Amino acid sequence: MDESGWDRSRCSVAGTLAVVGEKWSLLVLREAFLGVRRFADLQRVLGAPRAVLTDRLNTLVAEGLLRRVPYRAEGERQRHEYRLTQKGLDLYPALVALMAWGDRYLSEDGEAPLGLRHRDCGERVHLALVCDAGHELSGARDVRPVPAVQPPAAAVSGGAPPR
């Protein structure tokens, strides 16, 4: 009766969502990627309640995705801004994937509200699913999931979802 015999509690998707799955967290990171770093700018651009935003920023700093960097604007006292760490930067593909899906399925007016270009050559950037042998996969159907712990005996689902 146990499905495909592996431990969901240590699933990496669930773990990642425990870190960035709360409301506003991924949007804060999107803004960080766009260069918005100050509390007031984040608050204005996102429209999130200040209390929630404070909490999300604290969580993201505590988890090591953002770090607080002191700065000093002219005519102002010292404050700190929020910058992405490597750990935060590495979430970029996830945001790109979510954005790509939204571009495809949610845009009435035909085109993506934000395009991504290769800094060096200017060409459009997208995500690709590839294997170590260099093949490009067309989607989920080409992937076979294998649990790290060998399935005890039951094998309900052998792999990717059928049509």
Partner DNA sequence: CGCGCTGAGTTCGCTTGACGAACTCACTCG
Partner DNA sequence: CGAGTGAGTTCGTCAAGCGAACTCAGCGCG
Q: Which positions ≥6 away from 95 have C-beta within 8 Å?
A: 26, 29, 30, 33
94 binds, among DNA, its own copies, none (CB under 5 to 8 A by kind): its own copies
Tokens of 85: 């760490």
The reply on whether position 62 binds its own copies by CB under 8 A is no
**Residues 5, 147 contacting (CB under 8 angstroms):** yes
Binding-site size, DNA (CB under 7 A): 24
Interface of this chain with its own copies, residues 120 to 149, rule: CB under 8 A: 120-121, 123-133, 135, 137, 139-149
Question: Measured between alpha carbons, how far is 79 from 112 in angstroms, rounded to an integer?
Answer: 35
The reply on whether position 52 binds its own copies by CB under 8 A is no
Beta bridge partners of 81: 69
The reply on whether position 38 binds DNA by CB under 7 A is yes
Closer to its own copies at the Cβ: 75 or 161?
161
The reply on whether position 49 binds its own copies by CB under 8 A is no
Tokens of 26: 């991924």
**Nearest-approach distance from CB 75 to its own copies, in angstroms:** 15
| Closest CA relative to residue 3, chosen from 142, 141, 145, 143 | 145
Binding site for DNA (CB under 7 A): 22-24, 38-41, 47-52, 54-55, 57, 74-81
